[in-house]
Amino acid sequence: MTSLPPGDSELVQIMDAALAEAALHAGDWLLCKPGCTQCCHGAFAINALDALRLRAGMETLRTKEPALAVEIEVRARQWIDAHRAEFPGDPETGLLGETEEDRERFDEFANEAACPALNPATGRCDVYEWRPMTCRVFGPPVRVENEAGGDFDEVALGHCELCFIGASKAEVAACEMPVPHEFEARLLDEIPRHGETVVAFALLPAQV
């Protein structure tokens, strides 16, 4: 298995600090809390760095909390079995397809399914420490890509629809969470193999 780039720990620290700062500014506007699981439903793509981080986390759990690791793997395999027929990519490797047709299929793929990392008994993420970037930025306002694609819009800020109810644009902007996209991109360049997948596949032991 490809090793997780050493700089990933710094990326995680930066994101944790940014989230704490954004939450401090947001106060009661930010409603995210343990047990709120709306953002834990629906498949989303994760990059190779996210996948390696999740696999590293699972290796830690297999050593320190083997029973929990087994539970997570069972949920991951059940998730894959339930959605294998509609998977818009290679269901053996878990890599998502890159054609326009594959992308269109992914838009409608497993939109209501619970993430296999979500513990149904506690409502918490069992791999929270190693969660993907998408999960780390969900909630506070973050800059979103414009419809034309490519650059990040200077004005548009996206946030959880349950948060910032009644807040003005200025109040939302004051709580913006910066995301180090360039740093993440440099770390991705250190990984020899690229390609996107989904969380379920990254929770299982690497095939190679």
Residue 144: its pLDDT value, please? Answer: 82
Residue 3: its pLDDT value, please? Answer: 86
Mean pLDDT of the chain: 92
Question: Does residue 208 fall inside a structural domain?
Answer: no
- Tens digit of pLDDT for each residue in 94-123? 999 999 999 999 999 999 999 999 999 999
| DSSP assignment letter at 47 | -
Residue 1: its pLDDT value, please? Answer: 57
What does the pLDDT average to over 55-66?
97
Residue 155: its pLDDT value, please? Answer: 59
Question: Does residue 2 fall inside a structural domain?
Answer: no
Q: Which residues contact 31 (CB under 8 A, 6 or more apart)?
A: 160, 162, 163
Question: Does residue 3 fall inside a structural domain?
Answer: no
Residue 137: half-sphere exposure toward Cβ, Cα within 13 Å: 17
Question: Does residue 46 fall inside a structural domain?
Answer: yes
Which is it for the CA torsion 116, 120, 123, 127, positive or negative?
A: negative
Residue 130: its pLDDT value, please? Answer: 98
- How would residue 208 be classed by pLDDT, with cut points 50, 70 and 90? very low
Q: What are phi and psi of 94, to 5 degrees?
A: 85, 0
Answer whether residue 42 shows pLDDT above 70.
yes
- Tens digit of pLDDT for each residue in 119-171? 999 999 999 999 999 999 999 999 986 554 455 445 588 999 999 999 999 99
Closest C-alpha among 102, 15, 14, 12 to residue 57: 12
Question: Does residue 1 fall inside a structural domain?
Answer: no
Question: Does residue 17 fall inside a structural domain?
Answer: yes
Chain centroid, CA 82 distance in Å = 20
- Tens digit of pLDDT for each residue in 175-197? 999 999 999 999 999 998 789 99
Question: What range does the domain containing 194 cover?
Answer: 8-202
Question: Does residue 207 fall inside a structural domain?
Answer: no
Residue 40: its pLDDT value, please? Answer: 95
Q: How far is residue 186's CA from residue 199's CA, in Å, rounded to a whole number?
A: 22
Question: Does residue 16 fall inside a structural domain?
Answer: yes
- How many domains is the chain built from? 1
What does the pLDDT average to over 36-65?
96
